[in-house]
Structure 1
């Protein structure tokens, strides 16, 4: 994809880097009502992710019959914990990107963001649209 084809928010907010530079991400104002909606959606997505890991853990643990399989389960849990810690970042400056990723990965339904400003919801949709093209 050429730079000219990339959405402007991607360049401006560092979406094309693994770790965007500080101060380059959108940091819209979050009203108290939006903060409650965001927290509820975030917590629900976190529970969905943890539930998925728990189900996989139980399946692997019940199927394990050797010590090497037991240690593989430990490795799995360590990787999942790292991934969840990375994915679930509840800083308001990051939430737009977090919500887009959670929707893309199936942990969050976009309808749970109803009540956020149209600007925030449009940013989430833009990120999802761009991610779908890659």
Structure 2
């Protein structure tokens, strides 16, 4: 099996940044909707603490998932595709080897 090209062209970096931003905006939008729903159903103090805990977990997840460092982007994109925040089509413009690796990692 051939090694993946770890070099990123200017075009690939532009495609990657756009895809990264799209996925981030989607996930944050969904998170905001979820928080609005949960906040709307607060009835007692325990509900508020559960919302706090939920937000703490989500912050940790989002901060860990959205790591824009070129050496790790193939893995980041694989996770985003696997979790439904991004599609392989939105990565069009990346090197075919990178897209193949991302697709393979989503099946694991």
TM-score (norm 1): 0.76
Q: CA deviation at 1:76?
A: 0.5
Map 1:69-88 onto structure 2 (within 5 A): 69-88=47-66
Q: Does the CA-based 8 Å contact 1:27-1:93 persist in structure 2? A: no
| Structure 2 residues not aligned, in runs of 5+ | none
Aligned equivalents of 1:126, 1:92: Cα separation in 2: 18
More helix by share: 2
Q: CA deviation at 1:27?
A: 6.8
Q: Does 1:117 align with 2:95?
A: yes
Higher relative contact order (CA 8 A, sep 6+): 2
Aligned residues between the structures? 107
User: RMSD of the alignment, in Å?
Assistant: 1.6
Aligned equivalents of 2:49, 2:72: Cα separation in 1: 34
Q: CA deviation at 1:86?
A: 0.8
Aligned equivalents of 2:5, 2:63: Cα separation in 1: 21
The residue aligned with 2:104 is: 126
CA gap of 1:91–1:27, structure 2 versus 1, over 3 A, is farther
Q: 1:50 aligns with which of 28, 42, 50?
A: 28
Secondary structure in structure 1 of the residue aligned to 2:68: coil
Map 1:78-117 onto structure 2 (within 5 A): 78-117=56-95
Q: Which moved more, 1:52-61 or 1:26-35?
A: 26-35
Q: Which runs of 4+ in 1 moved over 6 A?
A: none
Secondary structure in structure 2 of the residue aligned to 1:107: coil
